[in-house]
Chains A and B, each alone.
Chain A
């Protein structure tokens, strides 16, 4: 359709027409991309405006940026940031501790049953959170896990574990098998194969997977809202508190939102290619 460069007998007019079409398509691409980025640009701009400027109609496009909004958002942002960091990092670590050995075993000892285990792990993703939230809520209440960081870590681990197993399985299957064979000949144990070969050789995969797990845990809303209230409330709950502000504190809301999304945006931009692979569970490379 839009794939263009033809190798046909290019008369001059045809070439010109193609060039024009190419320029127009490029313009269209830029316009569409701008449209998609606009809500974010608008939000980040508002974070540097005064409340009056943020709320003004017609909108203010040119202004002197100020930092006050960030300073005002910071006191309530920091505790939520700590909770988000602990929950995201903790759950990513736990998911790796549980998931890496499993991924290794499934990749290096691929039996028919291993394929079944992989499929089953993916199928746990078919389980909507609402299908498990009620008993988990009651259980957490009885165990005193409600509104604790540990509770969040446990739930986010459930969310990220299938992802870790699948992605790491995909990376570890790419390690040439001859390396394992050689190690076996030298009498390496399973543990030595795991720590000596599989882990060091799949470091790039570990980095990409960890990033994705961190982002998912950071952005999670459902468990955060329903299993925490004050003490362990992460950033998603902190931002949720602005939902009733009804246009009263747009600049401050924008500053808070910018602080929440900026880390994820930067990391996501850096690792975009690996993210795409991870998001499709390695199915599309």
Chain B
């Protein structure tokens, strides 16, 4: 199977063209999907860019003056909005770092032989499969609630006053909640990465007298980079878009403490009907996502390259 796999790239493929009626060409097979994606992602995005240059509120749809970069200036000059930008990055970055650390630990722990390992591996994916809004309402009401939440009872047992998690440490609590959701993803991708490491490489290193740390640093880590790269990229894209968790737990509050860009856009567009401003914020989110994704990819590629060299 694997030997034949290389064939498609090496053979020059000229599809035979017997002429009989309508023929399906490869291009004809690809276009419907491409067209659909163009119509539902690229076109609306350009419309978002277009709207972002207007003062446009659905409450007064008749007056729609062109104001150039006015919406962007409004967005970027208000210190409150910079806080929202910062929230977006802190939430995504904090969660990413935590899920990577805990996920790596879990992956290393699960990459050993022990009783019940397959079962734990299977069960572990659970919190990733839970609908984000279920996560939010369950955590908010049953775990984090200062009056009857489980965590309040735990801290009371340790003689501490119950903590109003979402009130006092809103960002931390939201990060904790989303970390709970995304750690299984990181753990399972990282575990798959670990398991694809050939045993003979480790054995060779051991024969050469490598210490466990050297073994990890020079063999496991470089091999792990691809999996880490996947986790970082997929999580960055997903975490910058976190919405349901915030909607269901804090509604962006207290104040704007947990408002990120997606939640802010939702408020502007669907509560204030400020289409122009929401569009500008949408464009900024797209730019931010792309910059971070590309930058992180480069960063990881460079680390991988230097590890390979060293």
Contacts and interface: CB of A to CB of B under 8 A. Distances in A.
Interface residues of B, number: 119
Interface stretch (B31-39, B77-85, B299-307): B31-39
B137 interface: yes
A33 to B, nearest CB: 5
Contact of A284 (B41, B133, B230): B230
Interface string A94-107: 00001101101111
Interface in B260-290: 261-262, 265-266, 269-270, 275, 278-279, 281-283, 285-286, 289-290
Contacts of B106: 29, 32
A205 B109 CA distance: 29
Contact of B29 (A39, A102, A226, A264): A102
A20 interface: no
Contacts of A225: 244, 247, 266
Contacts of A190: 15, 23-26, 29
A36 B180 contact: yes
Contact of A42 (B116, B120, B150, B220): B150
Contacts of B5: 173-174, 176-177
Nearest to A188: B16
A117 B18 CA distance: 27
Interface string B113-142: 011100011111111111111111111111
B126 A40 contact: yes
Given A272-B125, A284-B193, A285-B196, A243 B248 contact: yes
A240 B247 contact: yes
B111 interface: yes
Given A3-B212, A36-B184, A130 B137 contact: no
Nearest to A104: B29
A221 B108 contact: no
Interface string B170-207: 00000000001001110011001100100000100010
Give chain A's interface residue range (CB within 8 Å of chain B): 35 or more
Contacts, number: 342
A129 B109 contact: no
Chain A binding site: helix, strand, loop or mixed by DSSP?
helix
A29 to B, nearest CB: 4
Contacts of A277: 192
Q: Pick the 7 closest A-B CB pairs, nearest first.
A: A221-B244, A135-B47, A101-B29, A105-B29, A102-B33, A105-B26, A132-B44
Given A135-B48, A250-B141, A283-B230, 13 more contacts: A4-B112, A36-B126, A111-B13, A117-B30, A128-B282, A132-B40, A135-B44, A236-B244, A242-B137, A254-B138, A257-B138, A265-B129, A284-B226
Interface of A: 1-4, 6-7, 22, 25-26, 28-30, 32-33, 36-37, 39-40, 42-43, 46, 54-59, 98-99, 101-102, 104-111, 114, 117, 120-121, 124-139, 154-155, 157-158, 161-162, 165, 173-174, 176-178, 184, 187, 189-191, 194, 215, 218-219, 221-222, 225-226, 235-236, 239-240, 242-243, 245-247, 250, 253-254, 257, 260-261, 264-265, 268-269, 272, 275-277, 279-281, 283-285
22 contacts: A1-B108, A26-B114, A36-B124, A39-B138, A57-B156, A108-B26, A111-B13, A128-B289, A130-B243, A137-B269, A173-B8, A174-B5, A187-B18, A189-B24, A194-B24, A221-B247, A236-B133, A239-B134, A243-B248, A253-B141, A272-B122, A284-B227
